[in-house]
Chain A
Amino acid sequence: MNPMTDLGLRFIRRPGPGGRAANLAALGATAVVALLVSFLIAGSLGLSHRSDRIGWRSADKADPASAIGAIKLDDEQRVDGHRLTVLELAVLDVGALRPNELAPPPGLDHAPKPGEVFVSPEVAKHWSSLSKEYGVEHPTGVISAKGLSSPEEFIVIRGVKTIAASEHPQYVSSWNDDVWDSRMLGLLIAVAFGITLVLFPILSLVGQAAGVAAKRREHRLAALRLAGATRAQVLWLSSVEQAVLGFAGAVIGLVGYTVLSPLIARIPLGGGRWYVSDITANWWTVLIVLAAVPVLSVVSALIGLGRVSITPLGVVRGQTRKRISVLRVGLLVIGPLILAYYGMQAALLPVLIGVGFAALAVRVIGPWAVQLIGKTLANLANGPVALLAGRRLADDPKGAFRPVAALVLSGFVTGFISVFMPPGDDNPSFHDMRIGVALLLSLVFLTVAASTAAGAVGTALDQAAPARALRRSGVPLSVIERSARVAAVVPVIGVGLPVVGFGALCGLALSGGKVLTDGNSGVLLLIGQVVAGLVLVAVAGAAGAPVLRKASAN
């Protein structure tokens, strides 16, 4: 085995002082990344599986001359408070094939003849209240899982002889063609949109996870350089460590996703709960996660180490940090301009680019704003807590912003979405959107929680040596902890709140200045964001405080 590989594996087994906390934080954060990536891939595939089973119901572009069926959908009726979908199906003659010779639609044991009624299991339970209306004492058959969108779907498929042209029938060319169900397609587009919004928080989390572990090994790397190792060798050693951590995190994340799948399947999105099999990670999803998460971790760690010069005399950082240019603020206008130019009529891609650009602007401008706030805080400080926090923010704004970047970006997402919250009626699309927003924010907040906690651990380890000296000199731990908390909270409030406004501005740019939100749901969303943000900072503090206390103890 390559000696550096061997050494890297040894360092994983014996992480050294502070290394165990750093590795655990990195492992936890990587596991969350793996869980989220598994969810996004398997969830998207779940939409595809569901669409495969029910896509034929929304097919309407078939040529009537060659169609095998005509359908008419009605979803106005309710059963026991649930919306009932009634699908009238006229199986058509196709050339030499007679209707009864056709393969049946998914989930049915034969193509329904006129007067036959197939029902979902949920409808079967309530059939006594429907039997009169449909004129049959018992349904002809129960639709199997292969033909249902959800185990709790309420649907009746009734065979009819014909559907009059005046009733605008839709024509089906195949029961199993590639046509996407329109609702699933809408959700898939929403998922793509959501991935764009959650992408930066996730990448931020990957960087955080890699960074917290990498920081712990900087001194060891310097010692290795002193012992004659080349820069390439120490980078390889870091890659080995990070790859092992990333792989272990990926495995934990995948196991976590599998364990949580039954709970995730209960999310009533896109027409009801899910079959667990729909959202189970398949083998290539597993392969992607097992490969992508370690690779992303290694790349993030190498980028992080690339910023410092590992010399035999130690890890040397720039003593005079570069000032961050105010020109960065110019980026703030590009995203909204793209969104305003294309507007709601745009194809998906330009809108995604616009949103991505706006999120990037937040990421790039965040450190500049943190530096500005830090300087102001330090200059106005009259006590040690604000002075320490302000100087810390001003001295390393990128480092200070990194742990809260995901939280600030979630503010952008919330602000953006708050403009589009649909009214509270029971339109299925609006229902999906509300669930989708809740889901998206849950994902973002989960990312943020992991990111801020990992960041807090990294910051605590970074500050251990000076904090130890301060404690020995008689500075109470409470002063050190309070300054760490202020340094964490100030970027969240000082940058996060304006970013919520910027998100709303981008949303308004996209909507052409119209607030589509009905009632107070947008306001509730924003209040929820602020509360969640503060809770998450507290969570991060709770994660960092014991590490700082232990690492700075004598």
Chain B
Amino acid sequence: MSFQTPQSQVVLSGHGLVKYYGDVVGLAGVDVAVRSGEALAVMGPSGNGKTTLLHVLAGILTPDQGEVRLGGERVDQLNDAARTVLRRRRLGFVFQDNQLLAELPADENVALPLMVDGLSRRDAIGRARAMLAQVGLAAEAGRRPGELSGGQAQRVAIARALVGEPQVVFADEPTGALDATTGSQVIDLLIGAATYRGAAVVVVTHDNAVAARCHRVLHIVDGRVSEQVGVVR
């Protein structure tokens, strides 16, 4: 499966991004832009800045130099509280080991970000169940993460990332803990469901099969973009 690069507006961009960890250079001047409905894979050797780039673009870390814009708004100039709200309302996240809350059933895990944003429990659970149905887990809504398979748990995490209608979904090694078949299903679901809604997807991965499902691949080496590959087929 592959995707055509969409010709839509840039939703997320980073220009001249530099990030230091003490004396260690995390990012050494990265420029990147992602369009609505586009899936971008970020690849490269371990410890070369992939996750740092994801965290900077997502407003989890602030860059030491450069700027990050989401829909034209400067993210890097927002304070921590504003970036927290921005992540909650406009971004979605999928982590390698799903990071679901073990004590909450699937529907409550998905509903939680909505409840944090002030939606009533009833409405939040309703939307969460609808989203779980879209990722094929309607029957598992009442189960806790420990009662789900790895693939199912990751689909719950995708539902949680998408339930708030985000502009961008960030995924850090989303298939890293899954077998090849399940991983393939999960990445198709993630990219398919997100881009169908017009959201951009930024995936950090080591897996060529995952990258092959994205529109573009960005290679990061020593904190710099070494190569950009468009339209993967």
Contacts and interface: CB of A to CB of B under 8 A. Distances in A.
B115 A384 contact: yes
A9 interface: no
B79 to A, nearest CB: 13
A17 interface: no
Nearest to A466: B101
Contacts of A114: none
Contacts, number: 75
B103 interface: yes
Interface in A453-484: 465-466, 468-476, 479
A387 B87 CA distance: 21
A469 B95 contact: yes
B112 A395 contact: no
Given A387-B121, A474-B84, A476-B84, A395 B103 contact: yes
Interface in B69-114: 81, 84-89, 91-93, 95, 99-104, 108, 112-113
A199 B88 CA distance: 48
A66 B113 CA distance: 88
Contacts of A472: 58, 60, 87, 93, 95
A474 B102 contact: no
A466 B84 CA distance: 16
Nearest to A475: B116
A392 B121 contact: no
> What is the size category of the interface that chain B forms with chain A?
20 to 34
A392 B116 contact: no
A419 interface: no
A387 B115 contact: yes
Interface residues of A, number: 26
Interface in A371-389: 381-384, 387-388
A13 to B, nearest CB: 24
Contacts of A384: 112, 115-116
B120 interface: yes
B146 interface: yes
Given A382-B121, A554-B61, A394 B103 contact: yes
B88 A475 contact: yes
Contact of B121 (A320, A381, A554): A381
Contacts of A473: 87-88, 92-93, 113, 160-161
Nearest to B117: A474
Nearest to A382: B121
A381 B89 CA distance: 22
A391 B60 contact: no
Given A394-B103, A469-B93, 20 more contacts: A319-B147, A320-B146, A381-B121, A384-B115, A388-B101, A391-B101, A391-B103, A395-B102, A465-B99, A466-B99, A466-B101, A466-B102, A468-B99, A469-B99, A472-B58, A472-B60, A473-B160, A479-B116, A554-B55, A554-B60
15 contacts: A320-B147, A381-B121, A396-B103, A465-B99, A468-B99, A469-B93, A471-B84, A472-B60, A472-B93, A473-B92, A474-B84, A475-B113, A475-B116, A476-B116, A479-B116
Interface of A: 319-320, 381-384, 387-388, 391-392, 394-396, 465-466, 468-476, 479, 554
Interface of B: 55, 58, 60-61, 81, 84-89, 91-93, 95, 99-104, 108, 112-113, 115-116, 120-121, 144, 146-147, 160-161
